[in-house]
Amino acid sequence: MLDYINLRYQPSMNDIIVEYYVEPDNMTVSEAAEHIAAESSIGTWTDIVTMNMDIAKKLKPNVFSINGNIIKIAYPCELFEPGNMPQILSSIAGNIFGMNVINNLRLEDISFPKKIVGSFKGPAFGIKGIRKMLKIKNRPLLGTIIKPKVGLNAKEHAGVAREAWIGGCDIVKDDENLTDQIFNRFKDRVVETLEARDKAENLTGEKKIYMPNITAETEKMIERAEYIKDLGGEYIMIDILTTGWSAVQTIRDLDLGLVIHAHRAGHAALTRNKKHGISMLTVAKIARLIGVDQLHIGTAVGKMEGSAAEVREIEGEIEDMIIQPNKKQHVLEQRWHNIKPVFPVCSGGLHPGLVPELIKIMGKNIIIQMGGGIHGHDMGTMKGAAAARQAIDAALKHVNLKKYANSHVELQKALDKWGT
């Protein structure tokens, strides 16, 4: 077999760099690394007569780092089709997960060279475009998810949205499993909720956003996106992992002028096992490259699995080799040539009492989404939204929540119910 390990190799700016966590089966990590590099590129399990040195010299990847169970492989850019994320992942995240020479394998990180980055569009709006649309410069955006997830009809859905907007939410979105059910038809819901948005804007003088969930078969998603655009909508939401990367890219390439909100439903099937699968960091990078504008990354303080360190790895400081090898950069906001930054969305078990800690961990450049933390307020959705907005105001003013609640009854009721 070819020798894929070359610890003296210095990755080129034209290489895709992939980091894996490896637990081999009855062999060393180095031996397992050879198999991973071969199977994910030009090799196979045995020597083959069809291999020639010209192919090997041009396309052979190099395992250039082995540190305990962590290996790093540099893949020549020529192995991959630009603009084709499924093909890229079929190589570096394909058959290798099923090899019997490993017990566990986790794709921890990817760094893309300029040639690959330039073949994707990235976000159409990104953080700056969204802030410009909403005319909000410095504070976190506040959003909610209509609850219950399913069961409300179109008019009821729109009514809840209207209360949330009037109370102080900037954004209202469908939940991940609400699309076009018999009790709440998609087209009716979009019409009703956009009308409620317009009324809320007139009442509050603030820009309000509705994010309908278009998740479906690709042709149906195109139809739904175009319908939203025709009615004056400005956003769409997609469950990016259940629809698939090809479908997400198809929607992005439509260039309809709609902000794309990416829900990560199903991600834990890939990301939760810290020894096997694909990291959320990797998912986030792929989503940004393809071109979503907003992405769920977890909360670090809510109900969903994911530590503060893991969430910060996506939104905060991590090691990325896309621009400067071994330099600390910011994943969702770092400069990726012409690829715009993605707005990180924090959602899952949040309530007003968690807002100061969340902002302390994540900073102000986030979208804070509360579902039950708004609709579960004892005074109703409108007051729940007001309490959430008050919590953000208090955090930005560096005022203790309990002190701020003395003059804000909505916040006080929230703290009485959920604490801090």
- Active-site residue list: 147, 263
Angle between helices 381-396 and 409-418 (to 10 degrees): 90
Lookup result for tokens 């009492």: 353
Write out the two tokens for 74. Answer: 């540099």
Q: Is the peptide bond before 148 cis (omega within 30 degrees of 0)?
A: yes
**Quick check: 329 and 113 in contact, CB under 8 A?**
no
**Quick check: 383 and 165 in contact, CB under 8 A?**
no
In whole angstroms, what is the distance from residue 295 CA to residue 267 CA?
Answer: 12
- Residue 340 DSSP code: P
In whole angstroms, what is the distance from residue 309 CA to residue 96 CA?
Answer: 28
In whole angstroms, what is the distance from residue 313 CA to residue 330 CA?
Answer: 9
Q: What share of the chain is helix, strand, coil (3-state, %, to 5)?
A: 40, 20, 40
Nearest CA-CA partner of 21 in 90, 96, 113: 96
**Quick check: 244 and 288 in contact, CB under 8 A?**
no
CA angle, residues 35, 41, 45, in degrees to nearest 5: 40
Q: How many CA atoms lie within 13 A of 215 on its CB side?
A: 24
In whole angstroms, what is the distance from residue 245 CA to residue 187 CA?
Answer: 25
* Secondary element (H or E) of residue 239: strand 235-239
Q: What sign does the CA torsion over 188, 194, 197, 199 have? A: negative
In whole angstroms, what is the distance from residue 319 CA to residue 111 CA?
Answer: 10
Nearest CA-CA partner of 39 in 77, 81, 84, 75: 75
CA angle, residues 109, 111, 117, in degrees to nearest 5: 135
Write out the two tokens for 88. Answer: 């890229």
**Quick check: 221 and 182 in contact, CB under 8 A?**
no
